[in-house]
């Protein structure tokens, strides 16, 4: 399936052809990205319509991502620790790269953001 969409607001039909291709509609309400990976997004999903390979309009069903719990984040930390501890000793002395470091920081940020959201409610 081609990665095409139509904006209800400006009526633009847009298409993403390649993995690194991000295409916005004229008014900036919707976008498609990633070519065949079918990435997409919208400021308001009510304005997003899929366009199939034959040019037919398809109204998508939008589902919210499941909410992660603090336990999910802590389990992810536990898994990271177990994997690191299982590494061979020579790998334990090699420097980590920034991708490794940012992964850890994102996980920690998620845990602290979860606590902050819970404290505010």
Residue extents of the structural domains in the chain: 3-58, 70-120
pLDDT at 120: 58
Token pair for 38: 């079918």
Token pair for 64: 């919210």
Q: What is the pTM of this model?
A: 0.56
Task: Report pLDDT digits (tens) over 67-84.
Answer: 888 888 889 889 988 988
Secondary structure class of 120 (helix, strand, coil): helix
Task: Report pLDDT digits (tens) over 88-114.
Answer: 988 888 887 888 888 888 888 888 887
Cβ-contact 76, 107 below 8 angstroms: yes
Secondary structure class of 68 (helix, strand, coil): coil
Band of residue 1 on the pLDDT scale cut at 50, 70, 90: confident
């Amino acid at each position: 399936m081609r990665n095409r969409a139509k904006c209800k607001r400006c009526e633009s039909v847009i298409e993403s052809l390649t993995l690194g291709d991000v295409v916005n509609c004229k008014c900036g309400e919707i976008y498609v990205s990633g070519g065949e990976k079918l990435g997409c997004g919208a400021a308001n999903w009510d304005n997003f319509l899929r366009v199939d390979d034959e040019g037919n309009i398809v109204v998508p069903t939008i589902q919210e991502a499941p909410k992660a719990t603090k336990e999910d984040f802590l389990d992810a930390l536990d898994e990271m620790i177990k994997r690191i501890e299982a590494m061979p000793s020579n790998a334990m002395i090699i420097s980590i790269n920034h991708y490794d470091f940012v992964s850890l920081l994102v996980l920690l940020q998620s845990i602290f953001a979860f606590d902050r959201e819970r404290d505010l409610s």
